[in-house]
Chain A
Amino acid sequence: MDIEMGLDAHATIIFWSMILPLIGAVGVVALGRWPNLRDSWTIVVGISTFTCVTRLIEPVMAGARPSLALPGNMAGLGLALEVEPLGLLFGLVASGLWILTSLYGFGYMRGHEEVNQTRFFTCFALAISAALGIAFAGDLITLFLFYELLTFSTFPLVTHAGTEAAIRAGRLYLGILVSTSVLFLLLAILWTANLSDTLRFTPGGILDGKIAGASAGLLLLLFSYGVGKAALMPFHRWLPAAMVAPTPVSALLHAVAVVKAGVFTVLKISIYIFGIDFLAKDGLSDILMGIAAITILAASIRALSLDNLKARLAYSTISQLSYIVLGAALANSAAAMGAGLHILMHALGKITLFFVAGAVMVVAHKTEVSQLDGLGRRMPITFGAFCIASFSIIGLPPFGGAWSKWYLVTGAFDADQPWMVVVFMLSSLLSIAYLMPIVVRAFFRPLPEGVPDGINEAPLLILLPICATALGCFVIFFYADSVYRLLAPAMGLGG
């Protein structure tokens, strides 16, 4: 009885963590006329949401799987939420970074004097709710529902500027994400429904023994390409296009929530629909592995040649996302663990980098890498944070990225895929090559003449989140163990 009571309490927590951002969105609309009140409200809601999600850590680590059946059913299948370790981690990342991004967003949007801020923060809250829905989805249908909701709720954010370029980018964004999800993902889900009597995420997978050979490979590819948000090449173009959005959107959504929702979905499908063991059989995931490897390298090389800072970061994101896909495709516990950890580590690093890009845009109105000469001297804290985050992305200790890369490489060895080890190494080198020059330029090149004295550190609202996430990159290195313990049961690594 006790356990049941406990689970009901957890269901309530799930309910509130999903519903709070929605209430937040309504509140934002209602308070639209009073910007200060509206923004404080967003923060309050953000903190409450995050608190709700953190309260799920304890039961999940204790082995419980809190669940909540949503009212309604689509196509005769009920909607269900179930919190498992991987989803919880993603939920924590999304809701936690939402608070920081909101703070940053206030500074940025006001500094940039953006219009329609109410619509902006409303859609933002809706997007977070959808991201949490993806994180906690208990079956494929529920996941698909929130996946599409996330796409449509972020569309107004991408086209926020309303310019011709923004509309074109929005078209590409929607076109690729919806086409892939409908053409491939939905088809794959329906196919799965045809094969198996359940669509629930089940430890060990549900497909083993029901499909084999080339069809299984095709299904895996349909799933992987269907999740367009994972930005596997050649369906990656939407991500650089989405960079026309205001920087807080690029930071939270296109470095964390949306793209991580994509790779999270791939990872979750690999673990809970196919099952790691099934994927490892007969080289089922070899093709996916190859595609991920090519994406990692090609995106890194593309990033090298881009001068626009946000575009360069976008391609870096594409490359880093494929780390996670590759981790799933390597199909063993260590690689899956690496992939899971990378969701968190890359999120912390990449959001910092975007925050910095936005700060530079607000303060110095610079968008290109070649314009950054000497700016590090004027904005030492900002660029210091950039440097830390870059180290983490590259995978240097003592920063968080080192751990995820460690497990990924271990996983590649375990899977007897030396070439994949080479890919990881090469891509690390490439990431040094596209990130470090920015730091070097900012700190060691002389400031060009004619830069006004007014350019200094960014406003506090912007600076604070930057420092927090950069610090996070560092601190998490020492606390990676607890994240490992959280994820271990999901990856079949024991308690």
Chain B
Amino acid sequence: MSDLASHLPVLQVLIPLLAAPLCFLLRKEAIVLPFTIAVSFACFAISMNLLSQVLGGDILVYEFGGWSRPYGIEYRVDILNAFVLVVVSGIAAVVFAVGPGQARRVIPEGREYLFYSAALLCLTGLLGVTITGDVFNIFVFLEISSLSSYILIALGLNRRALMAAFSYLIMGTIGATFLLIGIGFMYQATGTLNMVDMAHRIQVLGPTKGVLVALAFVMVGISIKLAVFPLHHWLPNAYSYAPPLVSAFLASTATKVAYYLLIRFTFGLFGAALVFETVGIDRLLLPLSIIAMFVGSIAAIYQTEFKRLLAYSSIAQIGYMTLGLSFATQAGVSAGLIHVFNHALMKGALFLVAACVTWRMGGTNLDVMKGLGQRMPFTMAAMVVAGLALVGVPGTVGFVSKWALVSAALEVDALWIAFLIMASSILALVYVWKVVEIAYFQTPEVELERREPPLRLLIPTWILAGAAIYFGIFSSYAVDVAELAAQQVFMVGL
């Protein structure tokens, strides 16, 4: 048993990787569904176990084939990536538990097994990016997750999903290739691919031309994946035309992993001194984050489609995360990480609400949501709860994020930024309330009886919405872990 326990880091990635082709071979929905659920819960359990192992400050290193650094590939688990692993695998467990079965129209009929094998591959990629300690490995896993997410998006029912997936493919590949170029320059400058080794050598080298060029390419590559303003254009189409379950999964995991990469590369590999003091990336990232907060929210206000509205809101929320990072302080990074967790919960819940609405109405145009407050009361209540969390009402996770972020802003004496954060959350109220008013105060064009989606869809929705409240009131779990992670990032580095 103890032997198995020591292999947990690799099992974290291996299990979904092997499960994905199995899903494709098994095909029968009745087998594939429970199998996928079991796999995703196993991943979740492993990530929880890993987190509990590293929380004390130890760092787990798993060396492939016994080849030690710098020759072999290693997986490396510290608090930061264990935290992200938990978020990714947790969301996966909740979202995958929604079976196709009765939930027709949420995943195209007859293609369930494709959905599941692509989703598991995507999960593999995301977990791999997060857990690995090898820079080239990051690129490979990133492409695994990206390629499978293009497939997932293309599963959307509307033909526009195809174009959305295609544009994302072009943008995503350019982003990943930029990252690859950056990694190439890093390798050229340091002669290693191991992250710990590389970080050490970059510190010795200092800001040479090669390192600076590498930094530029890596930053642009990650920013495309993270949808940092103004590199966000692929995101609204991708999220709004993808099947709602896919949007729920990607919105709460893919960008989070990209954010993890941003932290890893800035604070871990290149080092805060180089990135923030020598190059001064914060001077670019900070205004861009603030613009993203406002542009994303304002664009969300004018949307007429629920998922598109949520997608634009995501752009604004990513702005909060990068804003936290651009303070280059421990409190700022910790605030960003808290928001990673919290945003995953609330956006996941909201996209699952979109899935519920799609199941019932066949689409998520705001027009079809008229009067749903009376017709799908439990679904819409989840929407209100998660929406209020997005606004940052106290008692929800959004408040915890906002508190942490504004505290971090005040810590660096940026009262005006604090004020802007508050102002943008008012914009969130506007677009959330727009939907609430439509759902509760407008009368639908066709009379519909009261009917909720099947429990398989409703329960995961409420798990996430409930978590958005639970972790808003009992915030210390997530906050403590995020603070420890930020502390480790600052004190230990890699």
**A190 in contact with B476 given A74-B399, A179-B426 (CB within 8 Å):** no
Among B403, B426, B441, point to the contact of A75 (Cβ < 8 A): B403
Interface residue total, chain B, C-beta cutoff 8 A: 32
Expressed in whole angstroms, the Cα–Cα distance for A162 and B472 within the complex equals: 31
Segment at the interface with A among B132-140, B217-225, B406-414: B406-414
Q: Is there a chain A Cβ closer than 8 Å to B394's Cβ? A: yes
Q: Per-residue CB proximity of A166-181 to B under 8 Å, as 1/0?
A: 0100010011001100
Q: Contact at A74–B394, with CB atoms within 8 Å?
A: yes
Q: Are B410 and A148 in contact, with the CB atoms below 8 A? A: no
Given the contacts A74-B403, A74-B472, A149 and B395 also touching, CB distance less than 8 Å: yes
By a CB distance below 8 angstroms, the chain A residues around B411 are 194
B393 near A152: Cβ-Cβ < 8 Å: yes
**B394 adjacent to A144 (CB under 8 Å):** yes
Q: Say how far A238's CB is from chain B's closest CB, in angstroms.
A: 14
CA distance A183 to B427 in the complex (A): 11
Question: For residue B437, which residues in chain A have a CB less than 8 angstroms away from its CB?
Answer: 167, 171
Residues of B within 8 A of A141 (CB): 394
Task: Kindly provide the distance from the CB of A123 to the nearest chain B CB, expressed in whole angstroms.
Answer: 13
Tell me whether B162 is interfacial, beta carbon within 8 Å.
no
Find the A residue at minimum CB distance from B483.
A76
- Interface bits A120-163 vs B (CB < 8 Å: 1, else 0): 00000000000000000000010011001100100000010010
A74 to chain B, nearest CB (A): 6
| Residue of B391, B399, B415, B441 touching A159 (CB-CB under 8 A) | B441
Q: Are B395 and A148 in contact (CB under 8 A)?
A: yes
Contacts of A175 in B (CB 8 A): 429
A76 to B334, CA, bound (A): 13
Assuming the A-B contacts A145-B395, A148-B393, A162-B441, are A76 and B479 also in contact, with contact meaning beta carbons closer than 8 angstroms in the complex? yes
CB distance A167 to B399 under 8 Å? no
Contact residues of A between 365 and 410, Cβ < 8 Å to B = none
Residue A12 CB within 8 A of the other chain: no
CB distance from A152 to the nearest CB of B (A): 7
With contacts A76-B476, A190-B418, A194-B410 taken as known, whether A182 is within 8 angstroms of B425 at the C-beta atoms is: yes
Give CA–CA (A174, B391) in the complex, Å. 12
A182 pairs with B406, CB closer than 8 A = no
Cα distance A183–B402 in the bound complex, in angstroms: 12
| B426 / chain A contacts, CB cutoff of 8 Å | 178-179, 182-183
B433 to chain A: closest residue by CB: A174
Is B400 close to A, CB under 8 A? Answer: yes
| Complex contacts, B393 vs chain A, CB 8 Å | 148, 152
Distance in Å: Cβ of A187 to nearest Cβ of chain B = 6
Chain B residue, CB-CB nearest to A149: B395
Q: With a CB–CB cut-off of 8 A, which chain A residues contact B61?
A: none
Does any Cβ of A come within 8 Å of B473's Cβ? Answer: yes
A76 touches B418 (CB 8 A): no
Asked whether A72 is an interface residue with its Cβ less than 8 Å from the other chain, the reply is yes
CA distance A245 to B393 in the complex (A): 24
0/1 per residue, B417-453, Cβ < 8 Å to A?
A: 0110011011001000100010001000000000000
- A75 near B433 with CB under 8 A, answer no
User: Which residues of the partner chain A approach B441 to less than 8 Å between Cβ atoms?
Assistant: 159, 162, 167
Evaluate contact between A72 and B474: CB separation under 8 angstroms. yes
Instruction: Give the residues in chain A near B394, CB-CB below 8 Å.
Output: 74, 141, 144-145, 148-149
Q: When the two chains form their complex, are residues B475 and A182 in contact, meaning their CB atoms are under 8 A apart?
A: no
B388 interface residue per 8 A CB criterion: yes
A186 beta carbon closer than 8 Å to chain B:
yes
Shortest CB–CB separation between residue B51 and chain A, in angstroms? Answer: 19
In B469-489, the 8 Å CB interface with A consists of 472-476, 479
User: What separation, in Å, do the CA atoms of A133 and B335 have in the docked complex?
Assistant: 28
State the CA gap A191–B407 with chains docked (Å).
Answer: 8
| Complex interface: chain A residues within 8 A of B403 (CB) | 74-75, 190
Asked if A75 and B479 make an inter-chain contact with CB atoms under 8 angstroms apart, the answer reads yes
A193 touches B (CB below 8 Å): yes
**Chain A residue nearest to B426 in the complex (CB):** A179
A79: nearest residue on chain B (CB-CB)?
B473
Across the interface, do B433 and A74 meet the contact criterion of CB distance under 8 Å?
no
Q: What 1/0 flags go to A185-229 for Cβ under 8 Å of B? A: 011001101100000000000000000000000000000000000
Q: Are the CB atoms of A183 and B407 closer together than 8 Å? A: no
User: Does residue B404 face the partner (Cβ distance < 8 Å to A)?
Assistant: yes
Contacts A175-B429, A190-B403, A194-B411 supplied; 11 other A-B pairs, CB < 8 Å: A71-B473, A71-B474, A73-B473, A74-B395, A145-B395, A159-B441, A162-B441, A171-B437, A174-B433, A179-B429, A187-B406
Can you list 21 A-B contacts with CB-CB less than 8 angstroms, sorted by A residue number?
A72-B475, A74-B472, A74-B473, A75-B399, A75-B407, A76-B475, A76-B476, A79-B473, A148-B395, A152-B393, A159-B441, A167-B441, A171-B437, A178-B426, A178-B429, A183-B423, A187-B422, A190-B410, A191-B410, A193-B407, A194-B407
Residues of B within 8 A of A (CB): 388, 391-395, 399-400, 402-404, 406-407, 410-411, 415, 418-419, 422-423, 425-426, 429, 433, 437, 441, 472-476, 479
The 4 closest A-B pairs by CB, nearest first: A75-B403, A72-B473, A145-B394, A194-B410
